[in-house]
Amino acid sequence: AARAPETAGEPSASIQPVVPPGEPGQDAWGAVRRDRMSKIRKTIAAQMVRSAATAVHLTNFDDADITELEQLRKGVPKGWLGANVKLTTMPFVMKAVAIALRRHPMLNASLDEAAEQIIYKEYVHLGVAVDTARGLVVPVVRNVDRMTIPEIARALGSVAERARAVQFALEELRGGSFTVSNMGAVGGTYSTPIINYPEVAVLLLGRSRWLPVVRDNGARIEPRLMLPLSLSYDHRLVDGATAARFLNDVIDYLQTPGKLLLAE
């Protein structure tokens, strides 16, 4: 027998609403719950306001064809990097970013407004946004430009595990020169990420998806695995053309993964 349609506004029996934390109360329009902000949430809020009020945000959007990279990644035997170490797309992206930052030092800089100086970082310390039960945490993986992709994968797994278990020191959240965030693990394609001030740029990864792509000057169309990229940068220091060249280099490395494996 056909199932009777649900009454408008009637929730499905399979949908269980989430009861938010806090004490029940009432405002002028109905029932509410009030919950005290956690220390980490207050820190996140203050940092976001500081960044939005200081940096002049601009975002470039593009896609990287990671079809060959994904074939390479899936060809690595499980457990080859060690127990509990996952080789995801992120280590490849982090390596590509590290190499590109060496070619475009303005995106690895910060602004000392009081001294009216640009500080170019000679190190590449990448902050990695980690979604935890307590909120967003950005631990730092240091000297990524000197690391191999397997080393990056191990370091990334270690800092992410400690972040989720709340077993990190505050020093591990400091000293980043650029941030990479992976929204694709949850879903979504493009966004406008907020810069982790005083850094001047952040790269957001969306969820990779198969798309029809025109190749060989229009001779054929074939499905390719495309990775959405959103690069936000501080327009006070970084010009649009500089950001575009940086993102082009990142894309080039991701689309030719052999370059990443041979990079020193």
Amino acid at 145: D
Q: What are the catalytic residues?
A: 235
Q: List beta partners, residue 122.
A: none
151 contact partners, CB below 8 Å, separation of at least 6 = none
Query: Which tokens in the block code for residue 227?
Result: 């990775």
Q: Are 155 and 149 in contact (CB under 8 A)?
A: no
Q: Alpha-carbon distance 168 to 150, whole Å?
A: 22
Q: Are 209 and 225 in contact (CB under 8 A)?
A: yes
Cα 70–72–75 angle (5° rounding)? Answer: 105
Q: Indicate the angle between helix axes 149-164 and 90-103, nearest 10 degrees.
A: 110
Q: Alpha-carbon distance 217 to 208, whole Å?
A: 24
CA atoms within 13 A on the CB side of 234: 24
